[in-house]
Amino acid sequence: MPRWTYCAWLVASVCAVPAHAAMNIQPDPQTPGGYVIARADVKAVEQQKTASPMYGIWSKALETRPNKVVDAIEPGLATNPVNVKRVERVFPQAEWNFLTQMAAPEYTYVRFLRAIGKFPAFCGDYSDGRNADEICKKSIVTAFAHFAQETGGHIAKDNISDNPQGLEEWQQALVHVREMGWSEGQLGYTTGCGQNDWQNKKWPCATGQGYFGRGAKQLSYHFNYGAFSEAMFDGDATVLLNNPGLVADSWLNLASAIWFFLTPQAPKPAMLHVIDRTWVPSTREINAGIGYGFGTTINVINGGIECGEQNKDKGQPVNRIRYWEGLSEHYQIPRKSDEKNTCWQQTPYGSLNLNGATDVLYTNWDGNWKYYADRPGGYSFECELVGFQTAYSALVPGDYEKCVTNRYGSHASWPKVRIVETLPPPVNPSEPPVGGVAAWEASKVYTAGNKVSHKGALYQAKWWTQGDDPSKGGPWGLVSSTKS
């Protein structure tokens, strides 16, 4: 699909979504006060909300290979995945060695290839004419510019005592595998651990573990270790929560950075999609100075601290830009006319008001608190897409159902919901209708003015009701009776 159609599809799909879809919500016979919904109904609502093809593109970018395949990757093997072979071609081991002369020994070319091999989308193929080799090389150089800032030596070229080889600062990436001042066995970065909230229910901290920065992107905090672990180990968050040191001592030290590179943090796009132009800036982003180029990748990583006019001369963004410009010149990465290396002219994403924008998509689910008069208690029994982190991702299969059932207790006072393959059959009335009016059904929703037959009498609803026996009054008023 040509790139220009993504935005057109996006806007059309957002505008075409109706107010809400029909769902058959019934009382749960197994749970007092709870409800059951057919899985088909829930799936239909989810598909309606993620109709834009961008959701499929984002999900595809986060697909992973089995670790058994990844562990078998070695330089030069004919069995290496296609994207790994591309990396070996455009960034061979000699280039890795050139940029890692100061690097910690935990970072190796083999681990670099394995980290990339885990994610088919990194340096993957394109079927629409885009140059995959060119995008691959630019992606790697972009990653190294950020590595040089995040984990670099930052030693001046003329500082012979500390830099006897006279290496450029952009050649000094990956010096640190653990955050400076921290070592294994130390507790730290445990803020929020043990609290009774959804983050701890989904990603519980392990006793005696510290979640300080590790790896090329300095992964930090339990919720990031948990989310990354799920991506690496088939949805199992406990692997890295129980052993976070793996992020320093295995190919995960580079895979964590690739994972970040591919993951959109809506409304921020994935860095890959800024580089390969799968992402199309919204009108509000364009008005906020956010477009293509290395500068937007800074905004994605750390825009609140490094972007905007007030940060124009700040050390971190100035360094990143210097490293990018040195690397891109050395590797002859062309800069297109609409690309900017800087982000001082951009509004940081955290300060950008995107409320109401119809050409921006979000990637997390949260409970929909709108009132629905035709549903039990007025609850929506749906989740909606939001622009902040929640327990449920729109890019992870099964997370929408988890959101509707409130698996991690993130929606306070949400009704108990159970999703079933087939709803229980409706109750068949045992007595004839009165005056031709159908018999009352306990599972059916009635609104003000609806009439029902029940036990030889005719009743009319005063307001919304479901499951309330008409003979007991409450929301029902007696209209007439055949009883003597």
Active site residues: 150
User: What amino acid occupies position 376?
Assistant: P
Query: Residue type for 232, please?
Result: M
* 307-311 long-range Cβ contacts below 8 angstroms, 24+ apart: 307/343, 307/344, 307/346, 307/347, 307/348, 308/343, 308/344, 308/346, 308/347, 308/348, 308/351, 309/344, 309/345, 311/344
Q: Cα dihedral sign for 150, 152, 158, 161? A: positive
- CA–CA separation, 211 vs 191, rounded Å? 9
DSSP-derived secondary structure for 163-187: -TT---GGG-----SB-TT--TT--
On whether the CB atoms of residues 50 and 394 are closer than 8 A, the answer is yes
* Contact between 89 and 133 (Cβ < 8 Å): yes
**Residue 125 region, left (φ>0) first, then alpha (ψ -120 to 50), else beta?**
beta
